[in-house]
Chain A
């Protein structure tokens, strides 16, 4: 039996190879993801380890409030440095200042801020400083900075250059030094700006006596834990001490949650889709091979092979293919990981990859997944093979036109119907419509896979009708060929369906989010101009800018929003601070109780749902706690309905400004006088904005468009996914066609004999391929769009906004891509079919 398996595979190398390709691609992605993820984790860990190499224990405040994208920590008093330095075991106590500072490059554009932080900190001349100056000297006094070498390169800045740093107010500075980690490693996208300690305190913390933390270095022979134990007793309760390892772990957890997690999840999704598509491809190949081998199998059975032996034979074949393909995929994965990292590096988001070396864990996992996927895909065909009756050896093998057992049709219909019900009624059942809609979507997907063979005949007939009408007899033959084996057609199409469904889903989600945003802004925003920082992780807007804009003639109102890190009645609902009177002019909040314009100092405005959830009414008083340790009483001055754009709890900005020494605006909205010319006023506002480091000034349409661009970037990644799925599906289609053509050798010979030209043979194969591709794609697009519709409905029900807007352009483009893919997939099989020797094909024996 074993030699037969090997012999079979050797005889059908091409087939085995094609089945394996899908696994190779899937495993390559899995491997690359794991390797890259591991390498990045290790690389970033190394980076943090080095960054903290001058710190054994850090002392900082325990008071932290999450606000916007950041965690805002309370500052600690500078006097602590001397106190801690005096404790036994402490060799050095280093003051640490940390905040946000975004440096502007030689071209006037701010550097970084599109995800990775833009760190402003203080330069300390100390032993064990992890950073070394490559050039220049440490900063001294206001107006001098040292920047990291990556930022210097990105901004084309050199020692001696003058530039601006946004903290967020624009400060004129001279670059006096360029530094980097001793190892020379960099974290892509993170920027560092070092000031001297006094300047950093002043600019970044707004308080000459405050520090973010104190870093301690231990005396020789004193361990980190030991040092912490030594100082802990003398720390006030609102301070904590963390060892170097804890600090590294904390940073790693944060980056895992933030970037690495997203990155690896995304790549894993790629690998997952690839492997899912691969499973369908392999399943299909095995199903065809088993069908074609029916007589051979029956002969074996007649000669005394047991069912188990037949089963084991197919299983062994799958095992060998899976193992070989997974091994190749593993190798390809290493290459892919290197390639992906090169791309990331080129994009400036490269991460130090501490060697993309293979680990046993990754190798074992990838091999196991590859083998398991292949085996799972081969199970059903193997079982079918084992059920071949010995008598089948004597029968002329007929065309298998069966596609649909009644059970399959019933089950498929039931599952699909249940799924659609889930999507339609998600908002009526239970409390979590999104989960129900997602489950419904999954059910529709499974249902469609089940129904595939049931509908394939009709679908191929319908899709083939125009082709038959236009392409004449070749089209008719293509259509009939696509219809003749519904299971095969649907199996082949499924692979493409999955890929296109994912794309349709995300593309339509993207356009729907854009449409929702558009509706939201139309509904809630009554102003004319919006000023916002370019990136979301850079410096915010200088509050002084809003004041300056208010002076521009023709400006009616300037409303600013900023994150206010505070607890209200003990809760952190991440309130936004604003000037209510101004806000009333630009935002349509749909106030139902109270009056925004008259809220005044100490006022708090909340959404209706927020009021309901917390049992609040107009005039109620709440206690606000701040990081500076003080509290204030807030009064509910307005209750509004429209809480989509500005959030559901707003606090008067006068309150917030009393408790922060580093105020910065998140966004500034401008309304102009009715009679004023938008163009003129905008030009004036632009000159003001330019003085503040050129954040982006947009009207509401431009603002929306910019938001849309971010969504489009995300979609770009999804199209990468499509490309991958299409490639695998292409291999699958090509493989099926090759097998079908092999099966139809005599038929093709006959057609050639009675007058079908070579190019007509090719055309027939090509159109069959297109029919299969269109079938899969239309299914996928319908599936993806339907799921999107269900999800958006569910979101609309929970979030109160959400407009379903399918991306018609994408749908059309994907369909076009699928048709081209169908043609491409048919190239080789069609060429083989056309090359068939007529005589070989028609010879009786």
Chain B
């Protein structure tokens, strides 16, 4: 565990602020109308620093997934702005948003990450195949080697364990060299060993190649792999810490819960 903490420490506190891979300004997301309206995001401002591993935490229903969906161009804001790199997502139509997701964003979901009819390899290259492009072969080999899937590439998802499936998903997210990888509770369905592996890969990707990753989690131990943690409650950012440990995270969580 400690080694990974040191990985996070590569970017010590007080270092100059990194450029933002994505910016959220005055984000409001409201579901429904009138009496039954739910405000899932309530004027959120947030910068996702490039090349860093950011964890989003908060109690259930605090708006974590909503925030991530809006960041990733899967959902639109009621008010406010999400800028990915230099693109204002709010100004894009469905087609362009889809292209942005395909080319500039990577996803890892909690479950059902893979298309059951495609092999592991086909799933990994899916975004580039959908774009009609061939992925970079060297990079592909490197990613696959890193996540340790070598002999499993020809298998269908049904023939893979949950951990292996999530590794394929991580490989898919990384292989297209996206600007940001979004992961929504990527270890939520895994046993702790598999979960640890996945988190290590993600941390390594940030450390070794400067991949930007945003991960939603409610597990303090998982959040400890991140470089920084943002806390949400009732749709608002209520706290943030850099270089978290499981203990500091738990501590803040308790305070928010109170």
Contacts and interface: CB of A to CB of B under 8 A. Distances in A.
Contacts of A757: 94-95, 98-99, 130
A747 B130 contact: no
Contacts of A483: 117
Contacts of A746: 112
B109 A751 contact: no
Given A753-B101, A755-B99, A399 B116 contact: yes
Interface stretch (A316-324, A648-656, A836-844): A836-844
B113 A750 contact: yes
A750 B157 CA distance: 14
A54 to B, nearest CB: 78
Contact of A484 (B72, B107, B117): B117
- Chain A interface size, as a band, is 20 to 34
Interface string A756-781: 11101000000000000000000000
A839 B94 CA distance: 13
Given A472-B132, A473-B132, A750 B112 contact: yes
A121 interface: no
Contacts of B121: none
B131 interface: yes
Describe A's contact surface by its main secondary structure: helix
Nearest to A484: B117
A474 B126 CA distance: 10
A126 interface: no
B129 interface: yes
Given A476-B129, A760-B130, A839-B74, A752 B98 contact: yes
Given A473-B129, A476-B129, A838-B74, A754 B116 contact: no
B127 interface: yes
B234 interface: no
Interface in B100-140: 101-103, 107, 109-118, 122, 126-127, 129-132
Contacts of B101: 753-755
B130 A756 contact: yes
B95 A747 contact: no
Nearest to A472: B132
Interface in B36-59: none
Given A484-B117, A755-B103, A839 B75 contact: yes
A473 B95 contact: no
Contact of B117 (A472, A480, A838, A843): A480
A398 interface: yes
A754 B107 contact: yes
A477 interface: yes
A398 B117 CA distance: 12
B129 A753 contact: no
A472 B129 contact: yes
Given A481-B117, A758-B98, A473 B74 contact: no
B9 interface: no
B102 A755 contact: yes
Interface string B46-84: 000000000000000000010001001011000000000
Interface string A808-845: 00000000000000000000000000000011001110
Contacts of A842: 74, 109, 112
Contact of B111 (A473, A754, A755, A844): A844
Given A839-B69, A844-B110, A476 B158 contact: no
Contacts of A473: 126, 129-130, 132
B172 interface: yes
B117 to A, nearest CB: 4
Nearest to B102: A755
Interface residues of B, number: 32
A480 B157 CA distance: 14
Nearest to A842: B109
B127 A755 contact: yes
Interface in A536-568: none
Contacts of B74: 753, 838-839, 842
Contacts, number: 80
A609 B127 CA distance: 75
A480 B114 CA distance: 14
Given A399-B158, A472-B132, A750-B109, A756 B69 contact: no
A762 to B, nearest CB: 13
Interface in B236-252: none
A753 B113 CA distance: 10
A758 B75 contact: no
Interface string A475-500: 01100110110000000000000000
Please indicate which of the listed interface residues B99, B112, B113, B117 has the most CB atoms of chain A within 10 Å of its own CB: B117
Interface string B154-182: 00001000000000000010000000000
A241 B69 CA distance: 94
A476 B122 contact: yes
B130 A754 contact: yes
Given A473-B132, A838-B74, A755 B117 contact: no
Contacts of B127: 754-755
B107 A758 contact: no
Contacts of B75: 839
B158 A754 contact: no
Contacts of A754: 101-102, 107, 126-127, 130, 172
Nearest to A481: B117
Contacts of B172: 754
Nearest to B110: A844
Contacts of B114: 750
A838 B6 CA distance: 38
Contacts of B69: 839
Nearest to A474: B130
A747 B65 CA distance: 19
Contacts of A481: 117
A239 to B, nearest CB: 82
Contacts of A480: 117-118
Contacts of B122: 476
Contacts of A747: 112, 115-116
Given A473-B130, A473-B132, A476-B122, A753 B107 contact: yes
Nearest to B172: A754
Contact of A477 (B99, B115, B158): B115
A149 B8 CA distance: 103
A843 B116 CA distance: 17
Please indicate which of the listed interface residues B75, B115, B118, B127 has the most CB atoms of chain A within 10 Å of its own CB: B115
Given A480-B118, A747-B116, A398 B158 contact: yes
A842 B102 CA distance: 16
Nearest to B132: A472
Please indicate which of the listed interface residues A474, A751, A844 has the most CB atoms of chain B within 10 Å of its own CB: A844
B102 A750 contact: no
A335 B98 CA distance: 48
Contacts of B95: 757-758
A543 B72 CA distance: 92
A310 B107 CA distance: 41
A752 B95 CA distance: 10
A842 B117 CA distance: 17
A800 B193 CA distance: 80
19 contacts: A399-B116, A473-B126, A473-B130, A473-B132, A481-B117, A746-B112, A753-B107, A754-B107, A754-B127, A755-B126, A755-B127, A755-B131, A758-B95, A839-B69, A839-B75, A842-B74, A842-B109, A843-B65, A844-B112
Given A480-B117, A754-B101, A758-B94, 14 more contacts: A398-B158, A473-B129, A476-B122, A484-B117, A752-B98, A754-B102, A754-B126, A754-B130, A755-B130, A757-B94, A757-B95, A758-B95, A839-B69, A839-B74
Q: Which A-B residue pairs are the 9 nearest by beta carbons?
A: A755-B102, A480-B117, A473-B129, A757-B98, A755-B127, A755-B130, A746-B112, A755-B101, A473-B130
Interface of A: 398-399, 472-474, 476-477, 480-481, 483-484, 746-747, 750-758, 760, 838-839, 842-844
Interface of B: 65, 69, 72, 74-75, 94-95, 98-99, 101-103, 107, 109-118, 122, 126-127, 129-132, 158, 172
